[in-house]
C-alpha cells in the first residue's frame, strides 16, 4: 500500500551535501530523507530527471521505509572504489579514501576529455592497485561504436574486468560485444537497464554479459531481485551517489542476492565531503556492512538545503506521489 502524502512529507528532510571532487558535473548532492515505520529511506533522483522517471525512485524509497526487507544471505558486501574523471596525478589520493578496496571503477569518456587522458587515468589506477587489482571502466554510453572499439583496444592493456555501458543503445551494445568478442572482455549494461521501459530487454537482446543495477531508479529491492531471477545474469549493485541512507538500500539488495560474484559500487559515501550520519557506510577492509542508517539531527540541520531548494523537492515529491497513486 502506498503511504499517504501527509505521512511521507511529515518527516521529509532535504539536505545538500558537498562532494570531495566534481562528479557527473556536480559539486554537491541533494537528497530527501524520509522516516517510515521500517526505518529511514532516501529519494534522490538527479534534478534533470522528469517526474515519470523519478517515480521509480520514490517507489523504491517508500518500499524501504515502509516494508520489511527480504531475508539476507550475507551481512557484509565487498565494494569497489570509484574514480571520477580526475587527472591521473590525483588518483593515488582519491583511492586512499577507499581502504581495502581491490577493485576500482574508473570513469572514462567524460565530455571535454580525451582518450589519452582516460588511458593515463586508468594507468595510474593500475599503478596504485598493482597487478592483482581489478579495474573496470564506465563510459556512461558516451562513445559511438567506432569510438568504443578504439577505446577498448587502447585500454585493453590494463587487463580490464569489464567495460560498463560503452555505447548508449542496446543495439550498439550488442554490436560492440560482437566486435570485441575475441578480447574476452565482458560488457556490462547500466543505463540500458534502468532507462528502458523494459529492463529485461538488454538481456533478451544478448547485449550484455553483466548488469549494473541501482535500487532507486529500478523501483526497489524486490523489483531488482525479480530482474535477477528473470535474466539469470550476474548483477553488480551500485549507488547513484547516495547518502549513507540510500547506500544502505543498495547494501540490503546486495545482501539478499542469491549470488554476488563482483564487488559492488556501494562505497560512494567516500566521495562525499559530509554525510547525514556520524557513522557513514564507508569501506573497511574493502567491504561495507548491511545495516540501516539513522541520520543524526545535527547533520540534518548543518546540511539542510535552502528554503527554496527544500520547497522544490517537496513539490517534486507531491507530484511524483500523485503519479504513483494513479
Q: Give me the chain's average pLDDT, please.
A: 96
* Binding-site entries: 138, 164, 190
**Residue 247: band (very low, low, confident or very high) from pLDDT cuts 50, 70, 90:** very high
**Which of 48-71 are b and which e, b meaning 16 or more Cβ less than 10 Å from the residue's Cβ?**
eeeeeebbbbbbbbbbbbbeebee
Model confidence at 199: pLDDT above 80:
no
Q: Which residues are part of the catalytic machinery?
A: 107, 214
Q: Which three cell numbers stand for residue 148?
A: 568504443
First vs last C-alpha separation in the chain: 13
pLDDT of the residue at 262: 97
Model confidence at 24: pLDDT above 90:
no
Model confidence at 121: pLDDT above 90:
yes
* Binding-site entries for Mg(2+): 138, 164, 190
Enter the DSSP assignment of 102: -
**Residue 9: band (very low, low, confident or very high) from pLDDT cuts 50, 70, 90:** very high
Class of residue 237 by CB neighbours under 10 A (exposed 0-12, middle 13-18, buried 19+):
buried
3-state secondary structure of 288: strand
Residue 103 has phi, psi (to 5 degrees) of -130, 140
Model confidence at 171: pLDDT above 80:
yes
Query: Alpha helices, DSSP H only, in 26-106?
Result: 51-66, 91-95
Model confidence at 67: pLDDT above 90:
yes
3-state secondary structure of 277: coil
CATH 3.10.129.10 fits domain 76-289? no
Q: Which three cell numbers stand for residue 325?
A: 497513486
**Residue 1: band (very low, low, confident or very high) from pLDDT cuts 50, 70, 90:** confident
Model confidence at 257: pLDDT above 90:
yes
Query: Could you give the angle at the alpha carbon of 96 between the alpha carbons of 272 and 72, nearest 5°?
Result: 65
Domain edges within the chain: 5-67+297-325, 76-289
Model confidence at 21: pLDDT above 90:
no
Query: What residues are paired with 106 via a beta bridge?
Result: 83, 137
Residues above pLDDT 70, as percent of the chain = 99
Query: What residues are paired with 62 via a beta bridge?
Result: none
3-state secondary structure of 162: strand
pLDDT of the residue at 166: 98
Q: CB of 209 within 8 A of CB of 192?
A: no
pLDDT of the residue at 64: 98
Mean pLDDT of 63-80: 98
Topology classification of domain 5-67+297-325: Enolase-like; domain 1 (3.30.390)
Which pLDDT tens digit goes with each residue over 103-115?
Answer: 999 999 999 999 9
pLDDT of the residue at 25: 83
pLDDT of the residue at 62: 98
Angle between helices 244-256 and 51-66 (to 10 degrees): 70
pLDDT of the residue at 116: 98
Model confidence at 93: pLDDT above 90:
yes
Mean pLDDT of 52-64: 97
Q: CB of 70 within 8 A of CB of 256?
A: yes
Amino acid at each position: 500500500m502506498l503511504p499517504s502524502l501527509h505521512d511521507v512529507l511529515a518527516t521529509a528532510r532535504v539536505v545538500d551535501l558537498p562532494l570531495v571532487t566534481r562528479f557527473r558535473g556536480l559539486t554537491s548532492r541533494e537528497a530527501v530523507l524520509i522516516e517510515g515505520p521500517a526505518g529511514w529511506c532516501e529519494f534522490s533522483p538527479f534534478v534533470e530527471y522528469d517526474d515519470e522517471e523519478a517515480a521509480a525512485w520514490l517507489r523504491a524509497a517508500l518500499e524501504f521505509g515502509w516494508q520489511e526487507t527480504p531475508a539476507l544471505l550475507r551481512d557484509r558486501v565487498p565494494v569497489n572504489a570509484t574514480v571520477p574523471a580526475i587527472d591521473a596525478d590525483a588518483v593515488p589520493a582519491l583511492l586512499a579514501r577507499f581502504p581495502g578496496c581491490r577493485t576500482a571503477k574508473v570513469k572514462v569518456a567524460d565530455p571535454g576529455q580525451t582518450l589519452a587522458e582516460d588511458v593515463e587515468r586508468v594507468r595510474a589506477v593500475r599503478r596504485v592497485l598493482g597487478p592483482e587489482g581489478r579495474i573496470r571502466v564506465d563510459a556512461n554510453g558516451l562513445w559511438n561504436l567506432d569510438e568504443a572499439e578504439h577505446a577498448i583496444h587502447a585500454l585493453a592493456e590494463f587487463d580490464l574486468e569489464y567495460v560498463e555501458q560503452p555505447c548508449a543503445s542496446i543495439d550498439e551494445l550488442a554490436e560492440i560485444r560482437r566486435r570485441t568478442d575475441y578480447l574476452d572482455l565482458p560488457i556490462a549494461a547500466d543505463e540500458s537497464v534502468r532507462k528502458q521501459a523494459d529492463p529485461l530487454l538488454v538481456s533478451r537482446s544478448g547485449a550484455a554479459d553483466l548488469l549494473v543495477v541501482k535500487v532507486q531508479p529500478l523501483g526497489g529491492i524486490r523489483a531488482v531481485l525479480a530482474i535477477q531471477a528473470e535474466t539469470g545474469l550476474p548483477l553488480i549493485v551500485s549507488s547513484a551517489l547516495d547518502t549513507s541512507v540510500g547506500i544502505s538500500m543498495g547494501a540490503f539488495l546486495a545482501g539478499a542476492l542469491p549470488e554476488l560474484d563482483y564487488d559492488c559500487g556501494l562505497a560512494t559515501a567516500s566521495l562525499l565531503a559530509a554525510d547525514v550520519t556520524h557513522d557513514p557506510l564507508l569501506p573497511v577492509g574493502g567491504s561495507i556492512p548491511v545495516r540501516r542508517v539513522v541520520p543524526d539531527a545535527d547533520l540534518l540541520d548543518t546540511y539542510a538545503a535552502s528554503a527554496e531548494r527544500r520547497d522544490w523537492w517537496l513539490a517534486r515529491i507531491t507530484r511524483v506521489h500523485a503519479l504513483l497513486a494513479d
